[in-house]
């Protein structure tokens, strides 16, 4: 079959900062997915996009072409409105676990398609898989039934959703082109729009432990994604949130489940509670439902949904969670105030202890990770434990300790504290 365009012409166009037409983009994405555009050609194009950017119009068409490469899900048969949340990924980011049942307890169904972790940021499915019996894979019919009966589902995205993104993301991962804002925005939004949610709240992380290291980049990514969602008829907003230090007091699969259950029981670390409630409020507003999420956490309604959500996927909500066999501690060498604890370094240490994977086929250790005993702003005594490292394989301690060298500062007095929610973008208020 003769092709209507030549990939080399389109690579040259992006190299020379020219915009691609809609027809050119539709062809490129489709031709790459079916193998008519080679990996080396798409790599060159991805690098040209990383260096020279894309116009909003091009990004919207690119996203549409990736959606069209696969199936679209549909939840219009549900009695309740739907809302989902997507985080761009951070260290200790377990928010999806308490958030999905909390929002469902307030009357909005949450269809959450999640992934496994790669590198230093953990994956929601890896965390939930530390619960004995819990299964990530659901058919579309089972997902719909669980949404109808329980109101919340967290499961693996099937292969049918945006297959063009799956192929392109794997290529970007090995060609240094993950960080291109047009490609990140279209990758995330193609999957979320194809998933069929009515409303979407984006948690765009900023700081050392995030993709986006500064607020200006994060704002550009958030604005691009909010525009893509809004144009596709999904009520979309974004919060820019701090990821310079880990969220909560744990980074590691089973440890993060335990901390999430504490939040659902009305306790848990203040930052995890604050962000869970802020994102829940955004999702409820976007879905047009008036409710008080803080109250639903306090009175146990969110915990009830959590227990039913876990049980519906084969998990035992009362089971003991795995604990790592070995621990090592890091202690403070002086009195003072903890003024910095670096998210990236803690994330890399947790990953090296076995909580994350280097290749997507690697297993993860459920009990491995890093436990924090203090957060920035806390007073510290010399000799106090700052971090406990957990692993089943003690030969991993040395590399984890290496990752943590210079990861914290203790000063005479507290510095200025950074707010957790840095900004909000979008106007996703009120239902349809």
| Identity of the residue, 86 or 390, whose beta carbon is nearer to ligand URA in the bound complex | 86
Annotated catalytic residue: which of 69, 187, 208, 260? 187
Q: Mark whether 191 is an active-site residue.
A: yes
The answer to whether residue 124 forms part of the interface with ligand URA (CB under 6 A) is no
212 secondary structure, DSSP code: B
Q: Annotated catalytic residue: which of 94, 127, 166, 191?
A: 191
Nearest distance from residue 194's CB to ligand URA, in Å? 12
What is the side-by-side strand order in the sheet with 199-206?
A: 83-87, 199-206, 235-242, 421-425
Please say if 43 is a catalytic residue: no
Minimum separation from the CB atom of position 159 to ligand URA (A):
15
CB of 339 to ligand URA, least distance (A): 30
User: What's the closest the beta carbon of residue 84 comes to ligand URA, in angstroms?
Assistant: 13
Q: Report d(CA 152, CA 114) in Å as an integer.
A: 13
> Quick one: 288 exposed, middle or buried, by C-beta within 10 A (0-12, 13-18, 19+)?
middle
- Nearer of residues 97 and 202 to ligand URA, judged by Cβ: 202
Cβ nearer to ligand URA, comparing 200 with 372: 200
Type and span of the H or E element at 362? none
Task: Find the shortest distance in angstroms from Cβ 183 to ligand URA.
Answer: 6
Beta-carbon count within 10 A of 76 CB: 7
If the CB atoms of residues 204 and 251 are measured against ligand URA, the closer one turns out to be 204
| HSE-CB of 387 using CA atoms within 13 angstroms | 28
- The interface with ligand URA within residues 143-172 (CB under 6 A) comprises 169
Write down the H helix ranges in 288-335: 293-298, 301-312
Chain-centroid distance, C-alpha 251: 14
Angle between helices 181-195 and 39-52 (to 10 degrees): 110
Q: Which of 84, 126, 165, 203 is catalytic?
A: 165
Residue 206 in contact with ligand URA, rule: CB under 6 A: no
Least Å distance, CB 54 to ligand URA, is 14
Between 184 and 277, name the residue whose CB sits nearer to ligand URA: 184
Per-residue contact flags (x/-) with ligand URA for residues 8 to 47, judged by CB under 6 A: ----------------------------------------
Number of H helices, E strands in the chain: 16, 13
Q: Are strands 326-331 and 235-242 parallel, antiparallel or unpaired?
A: unpaired
Q: What are phi and psi of 288, to 5 degrees?
A: 75, 30
Closest contact distance (angstroms) between CB of 170 and ligand URA is 11
Q: Is 165 in the active site? A: yes
Which candidate in 116, 120, 172, 307 is catalytic?
A: 172
CB of 316 to ligand URA, least distance (A): 30
Specify the residue, 240 or 297, whose C-beta has the smaller distance to ligand URA: 240
Cα R_g (the chain), whole angstroms: 22
| Residue 17, CA distances (Å) to 51, 54, 112 in order | 9, 8, 37
Q: Give the contact letters, 325-354, x = binds to ligand URA (CB under 6 A), - = no.
A: ------------------------------
Residue with the shortest CB distance to ligand URA: 187
What does the buried/exposed string (b/e) look like for 230-263 if buried means 16 or more CB atoms within 10 Å of the residue's CB?
bebebbbbbbbbbbbbbbbbbbbbbbbbbbbbbb
x/- contact string, 85-114, with ligand URA (CB under 6 A)? Answer: ------------------------------
Q: Which is nearer to ligand URA, 124 or 187 (CB)?
A: 187
Closer Cβ to ligand URA, 183 or 330, answer by number: 183
x-marked contacts with ligand URA along 169-188 as a string, rule CB under 6 A:
x--------x----xx--xx
Task: Please count the residues of this chain forming the interface with ligand URA, following the rule CB under 6 A.
Answer: 6
Residue numbers 380-409 binding ligand URA by CB under 6 A: none
CA separation for the pair 114, 389 (Å, rounded): 26
- Three-state SS for 240-297 is EEECCCCCCCEECHHHHHHHHHHHHCCCCCHHHHHHHHHHHHHHHHHHCCCCCHHHHH
Copy the structure tokens of residue 241.
Answer: 């949130």
Interface with ligand URA (CB under 6 A): 169, 178, 183-184, 187-188
Q: Which positions are annotated as active-site residues?
A: 86, 165, 172, 187, 191
């Amino acid at each position: 079959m003769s092709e209507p365009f030549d990939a080399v012409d389109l690579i040259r166009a992006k190299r020379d900062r020219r915009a691609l037409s809609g027809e050119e983009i539709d062809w490129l994405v489709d031709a790459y997915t079916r193998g008519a555009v080679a990996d080396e050609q798409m790599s060159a194009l991805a690098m040209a996009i990383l260096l020279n950017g894309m116009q909003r119009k091009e990004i919207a068409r690119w996203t549409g072409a990736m959606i069209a490469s696969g199936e679209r899900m549909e939840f219009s048969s549900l009695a309740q409105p739907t809302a989902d949340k997507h985080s761009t990924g951070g260290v200790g980011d377990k928010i999806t676990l308490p958030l999905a049942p909390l929002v469902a307890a307030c009357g909005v169904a949450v269809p959450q398609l999640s992934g496994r972790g790669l590198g230093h940021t953990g994956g929601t499915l890896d965390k939930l898989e530390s619960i004995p019996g819990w299964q990530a894979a659901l058919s579309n019919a089972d997902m719909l039934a669980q949404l109808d009966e329980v109101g919340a589902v967290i499961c693996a995205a099937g292969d049918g959703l945006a297959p063009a993104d799956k192929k392109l993301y794997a290529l970007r991962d090995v060609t240094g082109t993950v960080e291109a804002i047009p490609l990140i925005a279209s990758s995330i939004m193609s999957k979320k729009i194809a998933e069929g949610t009515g409303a979407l709240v984006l948690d765009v992380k900023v700081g050392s432990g995030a993709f986006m290291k500064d607020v200006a980049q994060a704002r550009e990514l958030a604005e691009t994604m909010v525009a893509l969602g809004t144009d596709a008829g999904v009520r979309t907003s974004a919060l820019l949130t701090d990821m310079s230090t880990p969220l909560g007091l744990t980074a590691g699969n089973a440890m993060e489940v335990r901390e999430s259950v504490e939040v659902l029981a009305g306790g848990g670390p203040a930052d995890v509670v604050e962000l869970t409630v802020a994102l829940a409020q955004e999702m409820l507003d976007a879905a047009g439902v008036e409710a008080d999420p803080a109250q639903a956490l306090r009175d146990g309604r969110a915990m009830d949904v959590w227990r039913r959500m876990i049980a519906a996927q084969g998990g035992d909500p009362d089971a003991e969670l795995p604990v790592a066999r070995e621990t090592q501690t890091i202690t403070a060498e002086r009195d003072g105030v903890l003024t910095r604890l670096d998210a990236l370094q803690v994330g890399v240490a947790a990953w090296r202890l076995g909580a994350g994977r280097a290749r997507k086929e690697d297993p993860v250790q459920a009990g491995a990770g890093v436990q924090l005993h203090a957060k920035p702003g806390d007073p510290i005594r010399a000799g106090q434990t700052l971090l406990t490292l957990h692993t089943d394989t003690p030969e991993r301690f040395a590399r984890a300790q290496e990752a943590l060298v210079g990861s914290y500062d203790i000063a005479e007095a507290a510095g200025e504290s950074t707010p957790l929610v840095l900004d909000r973008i979008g106007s996703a208020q009120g239902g349809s």
